Copies of this chain bind each other. A is one copy, B any other.
């Protein structure tokens, strides 16, 4: 299972934001919506082997939204429809256990630390000085990215404590959603190569 975790430091945990101004009213949930598209959307369908977690830290209590490719429905590639799905999930009254919103979308209270404790290594974090992803021979693991503010020092320490690999994606400073496209593509290539080796 490929897993992308995106930390939204200002992202709202409430459904009280406007679909007419997502960047200005939701703590940049627009960034996270684009990450959902990058992680899950193919030209003719959904990546069933991908899970995306949004860690939303812009409320009193953190919340996490989980999108599971294998049973996800109603996901269109545009930002507004995606934001509407997240809005629906955030309108639910939830506690620390996963509550189902729409097919393939679950939500609960809790932040990065409890989430990472439940996921299987290998862990990867992205940093511009990391090892080139193309040389790193990535495995299908957990890729943790920050929003427009990146990851903070505590989040990096948490990941390093879990043995996270630090990877980089070339010379340009890219948005998280663009990084996810590149990681998915790299993993697609590795899968094709591994399947060829199995066949030969």
Contacts and interface: CB of A to CB of B under 8 A. Distances in A.
Interface of A: 19-23, 30-31, 34, 37-38, 41-44, 76-81, 148, 169-175, 178, 181-182, 185, 188-189, 191-192
Contacts of A30: 77-79
A42 B41 CA distance: 21
A20, A76, A189, A191 — which one has the most chain B CB atoms within 10 A of its CB?
A189
Given A181-B178, A182-B185, A76 B172 contact: no
B77 A78 contact: no
A43 B173 contact: yes
Contacts of A188: 170-172
B41 A175 contact: yes
Contacts of A189: 170-171
